[in-house]
Amino acid sequence: MTHTREEAEIYATEYDACRALATREAQEQAEEEQRYQQKVLHNKSWNVNASYHRRQLKKAKQDIEYHTKALNYAAGKVKWEKQGART
């Protein structure tokens, strides 16, 4: 049997594994909180950074809308093809 985890991540008991997982999750959450507090564009003002994030959010919403429509269209085509194959 091959393990994909390093030996440092193998624990003697379930309790030790759960405790290590909780510690790692808390660490990752703290790092994520620090990322929010840093500028993406370090040499620009906070106003420029806020504008950047607004643009990114608007683009993401447009992407979601486009891909939702494309998925709905494709799903309709799949349903139509399956119905056509039955007849």
Q: What tens digit of pLDDT does each residue of 53-75 get?
A: 999 999 999 999 999 999 999 99
Give the pair of three-digit tokens for residue 19: 């405790």
Q: What band does 42 get if pLDDT is binned at 50, 70 and 90?
A: confident
Q: Which run of H or of E encompasses 51? A: helix 46-86
Q: How far apart are CA 29 and CA 27, in angstroms?
A: 5
Contacts of 3 (CB under 8 A, 6+ apart): 10
Q: How far apart are CA 18 and CA 8, in angstroms?
A: 14
* Residue 44 pLDDT > 70: yes
Q: What band does 4 get if pLDDT is binned at 50, 70 and 90?
A: low
* Residue 7 pLDDT > 70: no
Q: What band does 27 get if pLDDT is binned at 50, 70 and 90?
A: very high
CA-wise closest residue to 22 among 32, 14, 3, 6: 14
Q: Which run of H or of E encompasses 18? A: helix 14-36
pTM of the model: 0.54
* Residue 20 pLDDT > 80: yes
